[in-house]
Every structure is written in C-alpha cells, then in structure tokens.
Amino acid sequence: MEVAVTTEFAHAGLSSTSTSAAEERRGGSGRVSGDVAVRAPHLYPLLRGFVLGSFVVLGRELEEGAQLPFAFEEHVERRGPSLYELRPLVRAFIEEREPLLRAREDARLAVEELGREPAAAIFARAHAGTRASEEEALFRTVLLGLLISTAEACGGFDWDDDAFERAYAALEHSLFGERRRYVAIAPLTGISSTKQVDLAPALIMRPFVAGELATHWPESRGLLPRDFGRELDRSSVLELRSELDAGAAPPDAAAEFADAVSALRLSTMAAVAAGPVMFETLDGRPFGIQPVLPIAATQPPGEPSRLDAFRTPIAVDVLAALGDADGDPGLADALDRWELSLFQSEPFRSEQLRAALCSLLGDTWPMRCCILLAEDPTAREELYGELTALAAGDPGNGAVDAARRAVVAVLRSRDRDRLAHELDRELLGLGRQREPHAIAV
C-alpha cells in the first residue's frame, strides 16, 4: 500500500496530506514548483514523486534506528590550522537501500516513462556502461542519481524544494544536452607547481583544492596518498577534461595519466607517481573511482622536484611525442625498459638501460649517444667512457642520466630514423644537415 506523500515538505521535517503518492506522481494539479524551466513536463512529476517518496522511506528508516554515516573531512591548510567538517554519507546510505527503493511503485512508473524518452536511454548508457540492463541503468543513473544529488544538497533527508529544483535542473541540462562533460582527476606525488600547467590540450597539472573531491566523495580522504595536501610535493593533481558527443565513450584517462607521469619523470628526474586512484565525473556527477595503471601509480626511488618554466616545455614536447611511440616498436621498447629501470637495482637496472639504448639507437648506441648528447670532443670522450662502462655492466650516475636524456632527445626529434642518419653522418665526418634534438635536461 502506498504511503501518502505531500508535495510540500518542511525543511525541518515531513508533513502529510490526504493526497496520495500516486496522484502526486502523475502530476496532480499539474503544478511545477520553483523557477525551473522544465523541458520534460511528462517526466518532472514522476521523478519528483519518486524523490519525495524515497525521502519519506529513508526518513522513516532513520526514525526507526538506522544510522546515517558521516565522514570526518579534514581541510588541510599549509598556512594555519586544519579545518574539519562532518559530511553525511548519504550516497552510501541510499545505495545500501537500492533494492527497497527500486521495488516501490513510484520507481516502476518513473522507469517506464524514462524508457519512452530516447535522451534518457542515451544518458543512462553513457553513465552506466553497456553491462547494465536498460531498466537498471535508468534507475541507477537517473532516479538514484537525482535522489542522491537532492539528499546531498539537503545534507540529509530534510526536504528542501530549492535543493530538488537545482538537482532536477542539472539533470535535465545533462539529459537533453548534445554534449557530455567528462573530467578525471588523479593526485600527484613527487612533483610540485605553484600554478596551473597545460601539459596537453585537454590535460593540466594544477594545485589541489582542499575539499574538491569531498563534494562528490566524502570518503575520498582515505583514498589519497599519505599526507596529500600537507607537503608541497604532494599538493598537485592531474586533470583531464573532455567534451563528448552524446553516447560517446569517455577517454582512456588511465592511459593519459600514465603518459603524463612518464613525461614528467623523463623531463624532471623526479620520483613522480599518480593515484593510486583517479576520480571521474560526467556532467558534474560522480562517474566512478578507477585505479591508475600500476607503472604510474608506483612511486620510484628518488627525490621530489618542481616543474619550472624551463622544464615545462620539455614535458609538453615529450608528452606529445609519447602518443606516437606505439607506432615505433623500438622506441616503445626503449620507453618501457627505461621506466622499468627506475624500480630496479643493479645489475638489473644496467641490463634494462643497455637494452633500452640499443632499442633506441641501435647496436652502435655508445657512439651515437655521445654525438647526440655532447658537443665538444672532451665531453664526448668522457661520456663515451661512461657509456662503455655501462655496456660492460659497471654504470655510473652519468651513464644512467645519459640514458634518460637520450630518450628525451629522441622523443623530441619526432623522427628516430632521420635522427640516426644525422648522427651517423657526423660520425663519418660529413657534418650535420640539421641539428639533432639533443636536449640536456
């Protein structure tokens, strides 16, 4: 039997009238409260009725002894004391009671009507993926999503008309929009920057804003790296933004972040890592929490560093070139081996570096590398000695760094075969037709 539900809830609690929930779901007098310009009047009363009815059910659960969990959110301030906030975990509370809410008549009516709306099907598929059934996707992404957004805006289950109107307006804007806005954020460790850095057209590195993740994920503090936000080299994030056509799949953010970490490691020598997880939103709503690829999420031994004005253009060039590496098996192998060497000790590190340089510059890599990285004969002779020691299994710090610089130089050249030809011309005393892109980072 349906519980009587009113269209007006007091902010401090619930009141009831003789109007049935079914009448409210079907629009009753057809009244639409608030200043929302409703684009789907056939959906509005059904969705509002579902949220109202769910507030009644969930409020009764609390009255009968259920506990609404809270997250103790710390807002770290590098200057001054930390601030603390209690956030109700309404999302977890609601999701635990999904079967109860889904079994309600108002949920069934709303899902049936949503199933007749093509835009709702596209929206649900974009947010839920292809594994969920259509009804399940519509319930979880539209109905449950609207309920959670409203409850989070209310700070619990004390009804607020304005909170619902804002949540519904945001839902309609996303539901009927021709484009989807995807955002992924991953915490960074081992590197710092005092301002935003544009690494790629859709990818930036920027300072972390305290509390930005807690808005959608109150429990996010437990998923961040230790002391994140407290130390300078643990106060930045990678952020990927993408505008998607309706129904289009989101980008592979994990791969994009892994490439960014590789570019930062190559250009700064810093012990950079991202993750261990990334936080995704679609149209401003939580989309998921996904793991970062292990090679990028693991912090190598070493010291932190800063992405300054000198290193930034190098990182940008390297990141752009990494996108082409998959089409060059030798370069891809060199990159993989160099990055694996960061996590290895001798003699395995030397073995990886030798194989990386051989894949990068061929069997004559000691001589080609000297021409690539050193300008005058004295410097070349010294570097050649270090590289031959590496070839013999006795590397010094100079040879280890030379391997990194060689990878950077080849990436920035954007034409490995042409670069090798130019290096061989100079070895034969024929002179360069153009300057090799040797960048001593």
Residue 5 has pLDDT above 70, yes or no: no
pLDDT in tens, 355-375: 999 999 999 999 999 999 988
Residue 297 has pLDDT above 70, yes or no: yes
Structure tokens at 349: 């590190």
The CA distance from 270 to 318, in Å, is 15
Give the pairing type, strands 203-207 and 236-245.
antiparallel
Distance of CA 286 to the CA centre of its chain: 11
For 434, residues 6+ apart whose C-beta sits below 8 A from its C-beta are 422
Q: pTM of the prediction?
A: 0.73
| Residue 237 · residue 188 · CB < 8 Å | yes
Residue 239 has pLDDT above 70, yes or no: yes
The CA distance from 330 to 325, in Å, is 9
Residue 22, CB half-sphere, CA atoms under 13 Å: how many?
A: 3
Count the helix, strand and coil residues of the chain and give each as a percent rounded to the nearest 5: 50, 15, 35
Return the SS3 of 397. helix
pLDDT in tens, 15-29: 333 333 333 433 433
| pLDDT-derived band at 291, boundaries 50, 70, 90 | very high
| pLDDT-derived band at 39, boundaries 50, 70, 90 | confident
- Identify the bridge partners of residue 87 per DSSP, sorted by sequence position: 71
For 92, residues 6+ apart whose C-beta sits below 8 A from its C-beta are 69, 219
Structure tokens at 243: 């505008």
Structure tokens at 323: 């996108």
Sort residue 43 into left (φ over 0), alpha (ψ -120 to 50) or beta: alpha
- Which of 426, 415, 428, 425 lies closest to 437 in space, CA to CA? 415
Higher-pLDDT residue of 14 and 406 is: 406
Give the per-residue pLDDT at 18: 31
Weakest mean pLDDT among 57-71, 128-142, 205-219: 128-142
What size, in residues, is the chain? 441
Please, what is the average pLDDT of the chain?
Answer: 83
Return the SS3 of 390. helix
Weakest mean pLDDT among 36-50, 199-213, 277-291: 36-50
- Which of 304, 308, 338, 309 lies closest to 409 in space, CA to CA? 338
| Residue 281 · residue 182 · CB < 8 Å | yes
Give the per-residue pLDDT at 155: 87
The CA distance from 236 to 201, in Å, is 18
| pLDDT-derived band at 170, boundaries 50, 70, 90 | confident
Residue 34 has pLDDT above 50, yes or no: no
- Identify the bridge partners of residue 291 per DSSP, sorted by sequence position: 277
DSSP 38-71: -S-TTTHHHHHHHHHHHHHHHHHHHHTT----EE
Region 308-319: mean pLDDT is 93
Give the per-residue pLDDT at 32: 44
Residue 72 has pLDDT above 80, yes or no: no
